[in-house]
Amino acid sequence: MLFVALVSATMILSSCANNTETGKVNDFRIKRGTNLSHWLSQSEERGEARQLHIQEDDFARLDSLGFDFVRIPIDEEQFWDEDGDKLPEAWNLLTFALDQCGKHHLRAIVDLHIIRSHYFNAVNEGDKAANTLFTSEEAQQQLIGMWYQLSDALKGYSNDSVAYEFMNEPVADDHEQWNQLIAKVHKALREREPQRTLVIGSNMWQSFGTIKYLKVPEGDKNIILSFHYYNPMILTHYGAWWTPIGKYTGKVNYPGVLVSKEDYEAAPDSVKAVIDENKFTTEEWNIDHIRADFKDAIEAAKKYDLQLFCGEWGVYEPVDRELAYKWYKDMLTVFDEFNIAWTTWCYDADFGFWDQKKHDYKDKPLVDILVSGKPLEK
């Protein structure tokens, strides 16, 4: 395979894992941003439609609103064909995006979102066997090969302006499988780019509950710790067809006990099982619950003395807006209390606040809430 050959050749040629600037901490500081999702990832758009999906005015808009960075999810299938050959159009769009970020005062995280050997939602879609990454040395070398090619294309961008997130939402059967892959990819990237800021998330969908098992490469201060948060799912994913809890059609309360006994009794047995599993009829959900959930992530960031980053959080568009706004405000309060950077999911898709087709806000009150908190300190 092309990727494996590329990795082997590069490792032979690479003799230095460090340079004279290895100890320097980058000025890659972030506070509030959004995901440019469903553009170079999770989208069937190609050609003109893809080229027009995100334009310069989108970056200018985010800058003017007070966002200071974006996360840009990218998928293997958009950047490489099945033979491992580059697909130039997507590469050109990525560099266009990073150039626009530089022009409009936005930092950027390039996030390798979905690869052919690992899809974060494979388990829920009944295709767990498709995830070979954690059991295949060839697949792991291919992942490193992709990042070598990305590094070759992006290494000219300042370490203060562009960061790499080398995999999104890992789903390894054992936490140590993910830790071992982190060490392997980290070593390979550091041989190429000793200084680049790397974003590393926790196992099992970047869960806040598994970050305590995460092993971070020691002595590297140019790392950002990442987790994702969509709890309680019965609120944030109300009506979402792709998740079991989305089948619940009763009333949701927030803050407080999320589901009343009456609404619980009216739910189908399959939905009752999910409600029971998550204690939606017994636990109080409020800002204190969010603080408690974040505890392990906050402690991990303190332990390693690293920036903490919530890379995905948001509420599905059909959810009652007043409930959504209450949750957003509580989340932002906790983010500000503990200096947690964040990118909403997302800018213009089904969790977003902008409508690209109408070229207008679809949820301006949400934007006002998002930019009401503490900005990035200059």
Provide CB contacts within 8 A for 213, sequence distance 6+: 175, 179, 202, 203
| 297: Cα within 13 Å, side-chain hemisphere | 31
Neighbours of 369 (CB within 10 A): 18
- Predicted pLDDT at 4: 44
Distance CA 45, CA 78 (A): 10
Distance CA 215, CA 97 (A): 32
- Predicted pLDDT at 149: 98
Distance CA 29, CA 185 (A): 23
Q: Give the C-alpha distances (Å, rounded to integers) separating 273 from 247, 264, 277.
A: 12, 10, 6
Number of H helices and E strands in the chain, helices first, is 14, 12
Of 195, 41, 29, 24, nearest to 105 by C-alpha is 29
- Predicted pLDDT at 352: 97
Mean pLDDT by 10 residues, the chain (378 residues): 43 36 84 98 97 97 98 98 97 98 98 96 71 96 98 98 98 97 98 98 96 96 98 97 93 97 95 95 97 98 97 97 98 98 97 95 97 89
Tell me if 37 sits within 8 A of 174, measured CB to CB.
no
| 197: Cα within 13 Å, side-chain hemisphere | 26
Q: 279's torsion region: left (phi>0), alpha (psi -120 to 50) or beta? A: left
Q: DSSP code of 129? A: G
- Predicted pLDDT at 378: 75
Residue 107, strand partner residues: 69
- DSSP E strands: which ranges in 232-288? 256-257, 284-285
Inter-helix orientation angle 88-103/137-154, to 10°: 50
